[in-house]
Structure 1
Amino acid sequence: MNLRQLEVFQAVLQTGNMSAAARLLCITPSAVSKAVAHTELQLGYRLFVRTPAGLTPTPEAQVLAAESTGIHRQLDALRRTARNLGTSDTGDVRLAAIPSITHEFLPRVLQEHALRYPQVGVEVRTIHQDQMTQALLTRSVDFCLGFYKHPHPQVRSELLVSGRMYLAVAQAVWTRAPRAVTPAARLAQVPVIRLVGDDPMRQSIDEIAQRLGTPAGPGLQVQTSRLALDLVRRGMGWTVVDFLTATQLDPQAMVAVELHELPPMSLYSYHARALPPGLPATRMLAMLPGLLHQALSAKVA
């Protein structure tokens, strides 16, 4: 099966009929039909059977589909890379970031990028840290943004900026809390909103809770820092947030206490070692340090 036959095969798999596959490939339905027939003749078995629902892959075709999907995805990545290298002001960028970056910082990046490179398309995915390896190694994205250095040996981490972590609590809760030796100690009897799983931020939350002597108990545990912060805004407890999130808190409603007890946390960009970002992605990455320092210059309450 050559590459053209693979393209036709994948198109028919995705669409379920010859006409739709032809539109996807910008060729005629008869060309799709001839390509499928020629491939079947070479292989010696049927690839599709006609059913009321359309063209259904045979068991043999299902095995081929599982083996060839990765190759087809790599071809798409190759075309995109070739297109990006050959044009100076067009192309596309695919990136993924953890929720706190997507919601708090990325809109500023996308706005500035659109002003500088209006002809470049951008695809943004919001994923969790443990999903980034697959996204990068399957070439679903050009680069990712997240906190902490990535542990996978095939993923390269590039440091962008470091900053302190903050304890976030509602202004009303903070006002009611009794005075203490240290600002954070005022919240010793206030519930903590933790993160589930092995999120690195959970370790920081647990360490601060232990330092404060926060009463043990089941408490509230959520999957994302964004949801934890929403619960904090409702006066249900405190949590720990990163430096970017802290700069966006409304000082009228929230208090952010800098945590000198914890080491600074770092924001990184990640990419697959075997596939460095192309020109459009590299240009976007080059914008990040300046925009990050602008964000960090905002006053934290």
Structure 2
Amino acid sequence: MNLRQLEVFQAVLQTGNMSAAARLLCITPSAVSKAVAHTELQLGYRLFNRSPAGLTPTPEAQVLATESTGIYRQLDALKRTARNLATSDSGDVRLGAIPSITHEFLPRLLQHHAEQHPQVGVEVRTIHQDQMTQALLTRSVDFCLGFYKHPHPQIASDLLVSGRLYLAVATSVWARAPRAASPGARLAQVPVIRLVGDDPMRQAIDDIAHRLGSPAGPGIQVQTSRLALELVRRGMGWTVVDFLTAKGLDPAQMVAQELHELAPMSLYSYHARAFPPGLQATRMLGMLPALLHEALQPNPKATRR
């Protein structure tokens, strides 16, 4: 099966229809039909069962689809890279980032990138840490942003910046809390908003809750730091946030206490070792150090409490 046959095969798999596959490939339906028939003749078995409802893959085609999908994605990535190299002013970038980065820092990066490279398309996917391996290895994204070094041996981790974790609580709750020797101890009787799944904040929240002797009970557990922070803003408890999120909090509504007892956390960019970022992705990555430095500057509106 050559590359053209592979393209036709994948197009028919995706659409289940000769005419739709033809539109996808910008060729005629008869060309698609001939390509499929020629491929079947070469292979010695049918790839699709024909019916009035459309085309359905045979068991043999399903096996081929499993093996060929990765090759097809690599071919698509090669085409994108070739387009990116054709001119320095156009192309596209696909990136993935965990929710807290997507909400707190990424808009700054996207705005700056759009101002510098208006002809470059950008696709952003908000994904969790456990989804990054597949996204990178299948070339669904060019690079990812997340906290902590990636454990997968085929994923490269490049350190961008490190910072402290913060305990976040509503200003109203903080004001009512009894004074104590340490800031955290003031919240010993305040509920904690915990995280489920593999969010990087989960272990940090559990560690602080254990040290404070937080109230036992089922409490509230959510999947994202973003939702946890909204519950905290409503005065329902406290949680732990990263340094980028802490810098973006409104001091009139929220108090952020630096947690010196916990090790700093680091922000990394990730990419598949076998597929280094292309030209446009490399340019975007090059913007990160300066923008992160700017984002982490002290907030003049913040007040000590």
Q: TM-score normalised by the shorter chain: which range applies?
A: over 0.9
**28-37 vs 236-245, which deviates more?**
28-37
Q: Which residue matches 1:138? A: 138
> SS at 2:92's partner residue?
strand
Q: Which residue matches 2:248? A: 248
Mapped partners of 1:198, 1:72: distance in 2: 31
Mapped partners of 1:10, 1:213: distance in 2: 57
Mapped partners of 1:279, 1:137: distance in 2: 18
> SS at 1:235's partner residue?
coil
Q: Which runs of 4+ in 1 moved over 3 A?
A: none
Mapped partners of 2:97, 2:201: distance in 1: 15
Task: State the Cα deviation string for residues 148-180 of structure 1 (Å, max 9, x = none).
Answer: 111111111111111111100011111110111
Give unpaired runs (5+ residues) of structure 1.
none
Aligned positions of 1:1-301 closer than 5 A: 1-299=1-299, 300-301=302-303
Mapped partners of 1:29, 1:112: distance in 2: 44
After TM superposition, give the deviation of residue 198 of structure 1 in Å: 3.6
After TM superposition, give the deviation of residue 130 of structure 1 in Å: 1.1
After TM superposition, give the deviation of residue 50 of structure 1 in Å: 2.3
> SS at 1:274's partner residue?
coil
After TM superposition, give the deviation of residue 216 of structure 1 in Å: 2.4
State whether residues 199 and 224 of structure 2, in contact with CA within 8 Å, keep that contact through their aligned partners in structure 1. Answer: no
Which amino acid counterpart does residue 259 of structure 1 have in structure 2?
A: L
State whether residues 190 and 237 of structure 2, in contact with CA within 8 Å, keep that contact through their aligned partners in structure 1. Answer: yes
Mapped partners of 1:125, 1:198: distance in 2: 18
Give unpaired runs (5+ residues) of structure 2.
none
Which amino acid counterpart does residue 297 of structure 2 have in structure 1?
A: S
Mapped partners of 1:115, 1:197: distance in 2: 36
Aligned-residue RMSD, C-alpha: 1.2
After TM superposition, give the deviation of residue 240 of structure 1 in Å: 0.3
After TM superposition, give the deviation of residue 226 of structure 1 in Å: 0.7
Task: State the Cα deviation string for residues 162-204 of structure 1 (Å, max 9, x = none).
Answer: 1111100011111110111112211111011111134331111
> SS at 2:74's partner residue?
helix
Which amino acid counterpart does residue 213 of structure 2 have in structure 1?
A: G
> SS at 2:256's partner residue?
strand
Which amino acid counterpart does residue 131 of structure 2 have in structure 1?
A: Q
Instruction: State the TM-score, normalized to the length of structure 1.
Output: 0.97
Mapped partners of 1:56, 1:210: distance in 2: 56
Mapped partners of 2:226, 2:90: distance in 1: 34
